[in-house]
Amino acid sequence: MDIALFDYGVGNLHSLGKALEEGGATVHVTNDWAEALSRDALVLPGVGAFSAAVEALPEDRSPLHDAMEAGLPTLGICLGMQLLFDSSEEGMGEGIGAIPGRVRRIRATIVPQMGWNVVEHTDDPIFDGIDGLTAYYANSFVCEPDDPAHAIGWSRYEDDRFACVVRNGSVWGAQFHPEKSSTLGRKMISNFLAEVGRRMAEAEGTADPGVSNPAATAETAAPSPEVTP
């Protein structure tokens, strides 16, 4: 299973890469979007500011949006979750728009939120085998999906209850850092990889054997979409 871990050029990806490898993935750290979209799944990490990360997105967002809409399993973590949305109060620029909504500043007297917080969640495959999750946060901004049904997990900081885990089809986002959230947090990463494997297995019956990414499989052979840096 080949996982693209996108590198915005800031921050340390070691702990997240290690967690993915422990889950059985082969991790490819890349800053090339065409390569990232060719893998079995995409992980957007959680380091840096929204405006700086937006600059690392391709000028034409449509190949990213289309790949995710077509079923490319994607996991956005912290900042990576925020990039899945349309825009942010933190800075200029547009996100990917895979989950309609916006990013706003957390409503609290002490910002940023640093440390551990309880996560409530619905039933979803990414939470399989997880009960009593307490997760590690380092954030000043939170996401507000336009459709409340896209929120599948919540935390409360001071008086602000916010969506901390979201999902739209094969796209998930977590505002906290599962790779730093002890055994249950890393279990979330393993569950994501299990979903990737399940979708790959489902695609084997219809996909070209030479194509490992179900999002890249089409009814007729067509060239991969070009990504403009």
Q: Which of 94, 177, 195, 226 is catalytic?
A: 177
Which whole-number Å values give the CA distances from 186 to 160, 200, 225, in the listed order? 26, 21, 33
47-69 CB burial, b ≥16 within 10 A, e <16: bbbbebbbebbbeebebbbebbb
Our answer to whether residue 179 is catalytic in this structure is yes
Q: Which of 121, 150, 164, 179 is catalytic?
A: 179
Cβ atoms of 45 and 80 within 8 Å: the answer is yes
The helix/strand/coil state of 32 is coil
**What's CA 54's distance to the chain center, in Å?**
15
Cβ atoms of 30 and 46 within 8 Å: the answer is no
Our answer to whether residue 226 is catalytic in this structure is no
- With CA atoms as reference, report the closest residue to 107 among 71, 148, 163, 160: 160
Cβ atoms of 56 and 96 within 8 Å: the answer is no
Our answer to whether residue 28 is catalytic in this structure is no
Q: Which of 78, 150, 164, 195 is catalytic?
A: 78
Local structure of residue 53 (DSSP, 8 states):
H
CB-based contacts of 68, cutoff 8 Å, min separation 6: 42, 74, 96, 98, 169, 170, 171, 215
Catalytic (active-site) positions: 78, 177, 179
